[in-house]
Amino acid sequence: MARKIGLITSGGDAPGMNAAIRAVTRYGVSLGYEIIGIRRGFRGLLDDDFVTLSLRSVSGIIDDGGTILRTGRCPETKTKTGMNRAVKTIKQLGLEGVIIIGGDGSLAAANAISKHGIKVMAIPASIDNDVCGTDETIGYDTALNTAVEAIDKIRDTATSHDRIFVVEIMGREHGFLTLDVGIAAGCEFVIIPELKYDINKIAGELRKGKERGKTSEIVAFAEGCGSSVDFAKKIEKLTGLEVRVSNLGYIQRGGRPTARTRILASKFGYAAMHLFHNKKYNHFVGITEGKISSAPIGKIINKNKKINDAELKLLRKLSI
Ligand code: F6P
């Protein structure tokens, strides 16, 4: 009888999750495992919602955004009853272990499940890139490119009208995506939760920028910093200049994964399966200084990833 492994995509979807599903399935099946896809995140374990993944059922998905397994947030896994139910289902299904693809919340759930004697592997996937222990998460590069492309377009209209734009970017309570978007789109300022800012100073700098002949100025504003609309109103009042707001929202989560995201997802999926097969359980995979890495999941739970200060300085230096 084939050894069975469960595969879950959980939390917010991220482009490239499908490429990871394909990698786990293709490599897993070739090693002799049966891969059981658990649908709609951990909820599938509570609702008995499964599908067997075959070599061919993952054909033609490497370039698709979203996740063929669907996903969701499942607060029940934080309760004793929900967790017990999920563990019971894993045992009833005869799963040898579960591979979880998701962000920090999903990795915390994976860690909690491992405490019940279930063998888990975790693959970081999130557009926020806020998972500790990896330089990059699946989906991040795609979201970054989507946001930069959107700001390039906003720049055209901002320049035509001599306007300031405040562009709101996702990232929950972190500013990794906003900072990189800011550098890549040549934004004048980034507002991120990790950094205190002085609105009077920013307004003053924006005014000075205009005086230096800038035709447009763009502030990349992380969603975790509160209301971008209120921020824009204050800037308009302080500068006396015309300010518009654009919230990029959920377009950042969709779309075809970039080649970089697909390669990362393929490497992560392969590495997770490889580690599992070699009995290195309860680990997450990551990429560190260009190399695929792994470490026990417990090491990254409740840890905060640090913003790169040099990048912040770079943005300000180049936006004069
Ligand atoms: O974690 C990914 C993310 O898109 C965050 O950037 C955002 O804050 C959150 O998910 C939105 O969550 P939901 O899909 O539950 O609205």
Q: Which string of DSSP letters, residue by residue, matches 240-264?
A: -S-EEEEE-GGGGG-SPPPHHHHHH
Task: Please answer whether residues 34 and 277 qualify as being in contact, where contact means their C-beta atoms are separated by less than 8 angstroms.
Answer: no
Q: For residue 73, give the ligand 1 atom closest to its CA.
A: 15
| The amino acid at 316 | R
**Best of 67, 71, 127 for a ligand 1 pocket test (most atoms within 8 Å of beta carbon):** 127
Instruction: Order the strands of the 243-247 sheet from edge to edge.
Output: 189-191, 217-222, 164-169, 243-247
Nearest CA owner, ligand 1 atom 16? 12
Dist. CA 263 → ligand 1 center (Å): 23
Residue 2 has a pLDDT of 81
Cα–Cα separations (whole angstroms), residue 38 to 106, 109, 220:
14, 15, 37
Task: Please answer whether residues 131 and 139 qualify as being in contact, where contact means their C-beta atoms are separated by less than 8 angstroms.
Answer: no
Cα–Cα separations (whole angstroms), residue 308 to 221, 297, 301, 312:
17, 23, 20, 7
Residue 255 has a pLDDT of 97
- Ligand 1 — pocket residues by CB below 6 A? 12, 73, 103, 126-128, 170-172, 223, 253
Beta partners for 4? 34, 95
Residue 7 has a pLDDT of 98
Dist. CA 228 → ligand 1 center (Å): 16
Structure tokens at 251: 């377009």
DSSP code at position 195: S
**Known active-site residue 198:** no
Pairwise CA distance, residues 44 & 23, whole Å: 21
Q: For residue 130, give the ligand 1 atom closest to its CA.
A: 1
Task: Please answer whether residues 1 and 116 qualify as being in contact, where contact means their C-beta atoms are separated by less than 8 angstroms.
Answer: no
Q: For residue 103, give the ligand 1 atom closest to its CA.
A: 1
pLDDT one digit per residue (tens) for the chain, 320 residues: 789 999 999 999 999 999 999 999 999 999 999 999 999 999 999 999 999 999 999 999 999 999 999 999 999 989 999 999 999 999 999 999 999 999 999 999 999 999 999 999 999 999 999 999 999 999 999 999 999 999 999 999 999 999 999 999 999 999 999 999 999 999 999 999 999 999 999 999 999 999 999 999 999 999 999 999 999 999 999 999 999 999 999 999 999 999 999 999 999 999 999 999 999 999 999 999 999 999 999 998 888 899 988 998 898 888 88
Instruction: Order the strands of the 283-288 sheet from edge to edge.
Output: 50-53, 33-38, 3-9, 95-102, 119-124, 283-288, 291-296
- Given 13, 64, 128, 180, the catalytic residue: 128
Dist. CA 18 → ligand 1 center (Å): 18
pTM across the whole model:
0.97
C-alpha dihedral (315, 225, 144, 283), degrees to nearest 10: 110
Residue 31 has a pLDDT of 98
Dist. CA 53 → ligand 1 center (Å): 27
